[in-house]
Amino acid sequence: MPVTGRTQLLVSMIGFIAVLGVSRTGAQQSTASLSPAALAEIAQVEAAVDGIEEATLARLANPPDNQVQQVELLGKLMLYDKNLSVNRNEACAFCHMPETGFTGPVSELNRTTGSYPGSVRTRFSQRKPQSHAYAPLSPVLHYNPGQGDLVGGNFWDMRATGRRLGNPAAEQAEGPPTNPVEMGLPDLACAVYRASQRPYRALFERVWGAQAFAIAWPVNVETVCNVPGPAPTADPMPVHLSEVDRGRAVATFDQMAQSIAGYESSAEVTSFTSKYDAVLAGKTQFTAQEQQGYDLFRGKAQCNSCHRDGGPGEDPLFTDFTASNIGTPANPVLPFYAEGQRDAQGYVANPAGASFVDLGVGNFLDSGHQLSHPSAVDARWLPLVPGNKGRFQVPTLRNVDKRPYPGFIKAYGHNGYFKSLKSIVHFYNTRDTLPRCQANDPGEGTTCWPAPESTDNINTKRVGRLGLSEAEEDALVAFMQTLTDGFTSRGVQ
């Protein structure tokens, strides 16, 4: 990181301390206490998660008789089940709610931290939550020699490859439960054990078989599973099972993940009900500004070079499933930068501290730097590490502006640096034409930009100097707002 960027980072972290109350309680521990505004909004989201779970549990009294719909019901129940986190306080849906297009639902966190706290509330990831809508349509990660590029997978760094299960979304679902900065269980077997105690057990066994939970659990399983991960290096699978029971637990964990991916594939999540879809179907028309934005999207702004709007035989998913480094600045208020000391459980989330640089796909391919391990790294891809440092998956633009009310703040970019759709469009347009910001520059984001977090493999072909007027930027935003689902009904459920 350049000296100016590091100075800006340290200055901004002082501001972060003032906003969120980061404090040192000794040389071996650092904690981040959330602001009252964030806590209040988090409580509202938690109540909403509980309400959706309660309504979904009620469906167990009369479950569907179709196996596909049964799988979808199981997936939804597990996505909204906070008992699958170490402290029984965080469902997957905490970071992926429908009113925001299945991404981060806490405006105050989006405005400040960008990332979300895990089940251990003082642990934060270094990245903003991605949407899981449309994620199941990503292909299994593969290397395309014609493009000279990796294509597919899930997660910002593509680390849910889908190579083992044939389904990137299922492998993505296997990441958070044992990620120490997310749901925090010390062993995947804990997720299986917790699921075996839940009201949906009978439906799970009906779908996947009576063997799913036929596991001889050790007498200390509750105690073990109540301790936040990661597991000790000397005891990487602290739920001590026989070889057969371990294999059964792994298989059931896979089936849990496949159920979640099944729900994410359903019309309830991946619905194709935006105004854009209605225009394609001839049911409505763009406004003049939206049409201008679409023309720019496909033309002068070059957006659909990566955010593809479909071609012959393609669904318009607004991503090409590759990765790119657009030069996003570091987000200096990520709590992750302050996680360089041991926490109360002795875990160090970020040994690099304030000097941390997120290298995205390159870090995943360099297998020693994985965040969590839902998928193995193909050793044949190791030569691709240098060419993928700093690159992050091109996200779908579907639901990119979906929000519960106009003043709700969404974060953009892998680290949540951008706080509005307009700001990231302005960045794409002016990254290389505006000067570098100085520390605390009041023009940041308008008349100047900070240095990129990483200059490795930076995209200079389609980003940085688009030559758009402000009216053209606004037209692009107006077009992308037509990608919000819910404009039409889902039709076939």
Report the number of secondary-structure helices (H) and strands (E) in the chain.
15, 6
pLDDT tens-digit map of 293-342: 999 999 999 999 999 998 778 899 999 999 999 999 999 999 999 999 99
Which tokens is 381 given? 């891809």
Average pLDDT of the chain, as a whole number: 92
Q: What is the pLDDT of residue 368?
A: 57
pLDDT band at 27; cut points 50, 70, 90 = very low
Q: If 0-12 CB within 10 Å is exposed, 13-18 middle and 19+ buried, where does residue 473 land? A: buried
DSSP conformational letter for 325: B
Q: Residue 325 in contact with residue 394, Cβ under 8 Å? A: no
The phi and psi torsions of 19 (rounded to 5 degrees) equal: -80, -45
Q: Residue 319 in contact with residue 395, Cβ under 8 Å? A: yes
| Amino acid at the residue 470 | E
What are the C-alpha distances in Å from 373 to residues 124, 169, 171, 230? 18, 14, 9, 12
Distance (Å, rounded) from C-alpha 163 to C-alpha 139?
A: 10
Give the DSSP H/E element, type plus range, for residue 193: helix 188-196
pLDDT tens-digit map of 124-165: 999 999 999 999 999 999 999 999 999 999 999 999 999 999
Which tokens is 366 given? 């360099």
Q: Residue 403 in contact with residue 372, Cβ under 8 Å? A: no
**CATH for the 37-269+355-393 domain, from 3.40.50.970, 1.10.760.10, 3.40.630.30, 1.10.10.10:** 1.10.760.10
Indicate the range of 3-7, 203-207, 389-393, 463-467 predicted with least confidence.
3-7
pLDDT tens-digit map of 74-98: 999 999 999 999 999 999 999 999 9
- Is 156 in a helix, a strand, or coil? coil
- Is 124 in a helix, a strand, or coil? strand
Interval 345-349 mean pLDDT: 95
Distance (Å, rounded) from C-alpha 209 to C-alpha 196?
A: 13
473 versus 19: which is more confidently predicted? 473
Which tokens is 460 given? 């200079």
The pairing of beta strand 392-393 with beta strand 142-144? unpaired
For tokens 């910001």, name the residue.
Answer: 437
pLDDT tens-digit map of 435-454: 999 989 999 999 999 999 99
Centroid of chain to Cα 430 = 26
Give the DSSP H/E element, type plus range, for residue 421: helix 421-430
Q: What is the pLDDT of residue 76?
A: 98
DSSP conformational letter for 458: B
Please list, residue by residue across 365-397, b when 16 or more beta carbons sit within 10 angstroms of its beta carbon and e when fewer do: bbbeebbbebbebeeebeebbebbbbbbbbbbb
Distance (Å, rounded) from C-alpha 248 to C-alpha 255?
A: 11
Centroid of chain to Cα 115 = 9
Q: Residue 112 in contact with residue 20, Cβ under 8 Å? A: yes
As a dihedral over the C-alpha atoms of residue 76, residue 80, residue 85, residue 88, rounded to 10 degrees, the angle is -140
Q: Does 371 have pLDDT greater than 60?
A: no
Indicate the range of 41-45, 184-188, 275-279, 372-376 predicted with least confidence.
372-376
Which tokens is 212 given? 């799913």
DSSP conformational letter for 304: G
Q: What is the pLDDT of residue 242?
A: 98
Q: Alpha helices of 26-66 — where are they, by DSSP H?
A: 36-58
Residues composing the chain: 493
Q: What is the pLDDT of residue 369?
A: 54
Q: Above pLDDT 90, what percent of the chain?
A: 89
Q: Does 16 have pLDDT greater than 90?
A: no
CA-closest candidate to residue 181, choices 444, 321, 308, 371:
371
Q: What is the pLDDT of residue 5?
A: 46
For the chain, which residues make up each domain, given as ranges?
Answer: 37-269+355-393
The phi and psi torsions of 24 (rounded to 5 degrees) equal: -100, 125
Which tokens is 428 given? 């794409």
The phi and psi torsions of 102 (rounded to 5 degrees) equal: 65, 40
Q: Does 493 have pLDDT greater than 70?
A: no
pLDDT band at 34; cut points 50, 70, 90 = confident
As a dihedral over the C-alpha atoms of residue 386, residue 180, residue 79, residue 400, rounded to 10 degrees, the angle is -40
Is pTM, for the whole model, over 0.85?
Answer: yes
CA-closest candidate to residue 154, choices 186, 177, 131:
131
Q: Above pLDDT 70, what percent of the chain?
A: 92
Helix axis angle for 201-208 and 188-196, nearest 10°, is 110
Q: Residue 464 in contact with residue 433, Cβ under 8 Å? A: yes
Distance (Å, rounded) from C-alpha 307 to C-alpha 340?
A: 36
Interval 344-373 mean pLDDT: 88
Q: Residue 393 in contact with residue 323, Cβ under 8 Å? A: yes
Q: What is the pLDDT of residue 3?
A: 38
pLDDT band at 12; cut points 50, 70, 90 = very low
Distance (Å, rounded) from C-alpha 448 to C-alpha 85?
A: 42
Q: What is the pLDDT of residue 313?
A: 81
Interval 360-386 mean pLDDT: 85
Which tokens is 164 given? 């083992």
Q: What is the pLDDT of residue 10?
A: 43
Question: Maximum CA pair distance of the chain?
Answer: 67
What are the C-alpha distances in Å from 320 to residues 210, 317, 401? 40, 8, 19
Which tokens is 465 given? 């100097």
Q: Residue 419 in contact with residue 425, Cβ under 8 Å? A: no
Q: What is the pLDDT of residue 367?
A: 76
DSSP conformational letter for 483: G
Distance (Å, rounded) from C-alpha 153 to C-alpha 384?
A: 16
Q: DSSP strand E in 286-359: where?
A: 323-324
Q: Does 18 have pLDDT greater than 60?
A: no
pLDDT tens-digit map of 216-227: 999 999 999 999
With the C-alpha atoms ordered 139, 143, 147, 148, is the resulting torsion angle positive or negative?
A: positive
Interval 160-181 mean pLDDT: 97
